[in-house]
Amino acid sequence: MKTCQALPALQQCAASIPHLRDLFQGQPGRGQALQLQGAGITLDYSKQRVSTEVLELLVQLAQQSGLEAERERLFAGEAVNRTEKRAAWHTALRVPANRQSPSQACVEEQLQRMSRLVDRIQSGVWRGFSGKRITDVVNLGVGGSDLGPLMVTHGLREYANAAAQGLRVHFASTIDGSQLFDLLDHLNPETSLFIISSKSFSTIDTLSNADTVRSWLSSHCEDEALMLRCHFIGVSAARDRMTVWGLPQDNQLHFWDWVGGRFSLWSVIGLPIALALGMSAFRQLLSGAHAMDEHFRTAPLSQNLPVMLALLGVWNVNFLDIRAHAILPYDGRLKYFPSYLEQLEMESNGKSVDQQGRALDYSTCPVLWGEIGANAQHAFYQLLHQGTQSVASDFILAACRYDAPGHYAHQEPLRAQHQLNIANCLAQSRVLAFGDAAVESENSPWQRYPGNQPSSTLLLKRLDPVSLGALIAAYEHKVFVQAVIWNINPFDQWGVELGKQVALQLQPLLRQPGSSAMHELDDSTRTLALRIQQQQACKGGE
């Protein structure tokens, strides 16, 4: 980024960029001009603090960063993940079967295997150890093996096919076993199936959950081989580790090291999605993502939705110094979308070393968080409207809802609620942009709204498997484009490793009160550990 010719001009523009109110005043038809479409999604970025000149310069910045060449390498399956020397070929997972290259044929093969499994489980052919049909499936996974499937499953529940509706799909991710503790309380071991989902098959969070389940099942089924065969499916890129854990070959689904964890919901990691919604919804999800891939690959940069999302982000972070980004879906079904994006964006681009290993002297990924928009209005919007932080926001909205021809009850009042929801979404981005100027203002200092908080609105016609696939893919590519501009590797995550190692060091120490190794710890950690040991020792209370 530092060497791009567009940089000084962008910095100059940033210094003199007018208030959003004035940008609109100076540009009639701005709403129409600053809008683009890709793969069925409309991006309105007229409420971003950009001028025509800024937009042109940002596109130059992308070009000067080598985006087009790097994008080609991404789609060709080249080793764009340089630190780990491998491809990040999630786009290959979404190529339709009839257009897959020979090296992509393995994708369809695994999807077919997954499809057969889904069919067996949903139709009741798959049996538990006692011969009963499966009623509950629990996905054991964390990070990319949890957030994506959870988000999509929750988001598209209304599209579940009839066969899927008989099956309950649950998610357990936390290392402390909290979710399992709740689930095992009411699940029937005879009719529960567990998916162990881990790319490396060494994730301790997931494997410790799996071990707990294994011990729970063992107390109901003495025959270990039978229990493993009837109650576990492994999803991983590490075949050998699955086998060592005890999973029979037929219960293993594979993906490849060129699929990054946070880009893996499109692979067999999506098994819980297919189980909860049906294989056809899963295929539609892939097709939506593929449509966005094609848009990203072929649309001119200035009309390219993921590219524009990325450029606006770079502009806000690096030129307007806005370090926070809120994700605000106005749709209860997208409850888990913000946390999904937290991982996608912050794990990908939360980096401070460039591709060559040099420390950066500019900002990369902002802090990103979010919530269902209308609920967040009653929570952190106060800070957005009147706080001291500049925050950029993405509003996400579906135009149509509750309009299926099915005559479900309360369709009219629900539609009215949807209209109210839309009104709220538009009102908030309007007030954020224009502040007091949006309406007749009050004079009290506590009722002043400065405005000028930038936002984009992503408008879907309706939220369905196709549009959600496209929406997710748009953010994936946004992340990639930003990484190219920032000259960082978005596909590794070395930052999460050290904590895991240290936890492994600490674990044995905690088991041995008074161990001499405790003295090697820093004073704070040692004191805390001792306090915990004390409290654990006196179980009856103080």
Partner 1 sequence: MNVRVLGDSLEAWALAGALALTGCDVSMSQSELLGGGADTAEPDLLQLLEKQQAAGRLRLGRQQGAADLLLVTRRLPSLEALQRAVQDFADSGKASGQPRLIALTQSVAIGTTDALQSWLDEQGAANVRVLYWPAFVQAGRALESITRPERILLGTCDAAVERVMRRLLSPFNRSRDTLLVMPPKEAELSKLAINGMLATRVSYMNELARLAEDKGIDIEQVRQGMGTDSRIGFQYLYPGCGFGGEAFLETLSQLNRELGHQREPGLLSSVFKINEQQKDLLFQKFWRYFGAQVAGRTVALWGCAFKPNTSAVEGSPALTLIEALLSHDVNVQVYDPMAMPVLRRRLGPLPGLSYLDSAEAAAQGTDALMLVTEWKEFWNLDMAAVLAGMKAPLLLDGRNVFEPERMHELGWVYSGVGRGVSV
Q: Which of residues 35-64 bind partner 1 (CB under 8 A)?
A: none
Nearest residue (CB) to partner 1, 190 versus 331:
190
Nearest residue (CB) to partner 1, 131 versus 514:
131
Nearest residue (CB) to partner 1, 125 versus 517:
125
- For residues 296 and 33, give the distance between their C-alpha atoms in angstroms, rounded to a whole number: 20
- For residues 1 and 362, give the distance between their C-alpha atoms in angstroms, rounded to a whole number: 9
CB of 374 to partner 1, least distance (A): 28
**Residues linked to residue 395 through DSSP beta bridges, in sequence order:** 328, 457
Print the binding letters for residues 214-243 with partner 1: x by CB under 8 A, - otherwise.
---------x--x--xx-------------
Print the binding letters for residues 176-215 with partner 1: x by CB under 8 A, - otherwise.
----------------------------------------
Position 151, amino acid: M
Do the Cβ atoms of 23 and 34 come closer than 8 Å? no
Q: ∠161-163-167 over CA atoms, to 5°? A: 105
Q: Which residue in the list 132, 410, 461, 500 is annotated as catalytic? A: 500
Q: Helix, strand, coil: what percent of the chain each, to 5?
A: 55, 10, 30
Q: Which of residues 105-164 bind partner 1 (CB under 8 A)?
A: 123, 125, 127, 129-133
Question: Does 500 participate in catalysis according to the annotation?
Answer: yes
CB of 131 to partner 1, least distance (A): 3
What are φ and ψ of residue 42, in 5° steps?
A: -100, 130
Nearest residue (CB) to partner 1, 265 versus 279:
279
Nearest residue (CB) to partner 1, 22 versus 223:
223
Q: Which of residues 389-448 bind partner 1 (CB under 8 A)?
A: none
- For residues 243 and 435, give the distance between their C-alpha atoms in angstroms, rounded to a whole number: 60
Query: Is residue 69 a contact residue for partner 1 (CB under 8 A)?
Result: no
- For residues 499 and 114, give the distance between their C-alpha atoms in angstroms, rounded to a whole number: 34
The structure tokens listed for 302 are 């200035």
Do the Cβ atoms of 478 and 306 come closer than 8 Å? yes
Question: Does 170 participate in catalysis according to the annotation?
Answer: no
The structure tokens listed for 393 are 């926001």
CB of 473 to partner 1, least distance (A): 37
Q: Which residue in the list 2, 85, 186, 378 is annotated as catalytic? A: 378
Do the Cβ atoms of 48 and 456 come closer than 8 Å? yes
Q: Provide the pairing of β-strand 136-140 with 192-197.
A: parallel
Question: Does 186 participate in catalysis according to the annotation?
Answer: no
CB of 126 to partner 1, least distance (A): 10
Residue 32: Cβ-neighbour burial (10 angstroms; 0-12, 13-18, 19+): exposed
Position 296, amino acid: F
- For residues 161 and 177, give the distance between their C-alpha atoms in angstroms, rounded to a whole number: 31
The structure tokens listed for 224 are 């270990």
Q: Which of residues 298-357 bind partner 1 (CB under 8 A)?
A: none
Nearest residue (CB) to partner 1, 130 versus 382:
130
Do the Cβ atoms of 107 and 93 come closer than 8 Å? yes
Nearest residue (CB) to partner 1, 136 versus 294:
136
CB of 160 to partner 1, least distance (A): 17
CB of 127 to partner 1, least distance (A): 6
Q: Which of residues 354-383 bind partner 1 (CB under 8 A)?
A: none
**H or E segment to which residue 196 belongs:** strand 192-197
Q: Which residue in the list 347, 385, 418, 477 is annotated as catalytic? A: 347
CB of 130 to partner 1, least distance (A): 6
Interface with partner 1 (CB under 8 A), residue total 12
* Catalytic positions, written as ranges: 347, 378, 500
Q: Which residues bind partner 1 (CB under 8 A)?
A: 123, 125, 127, 129-133, 223, 226, 229-230
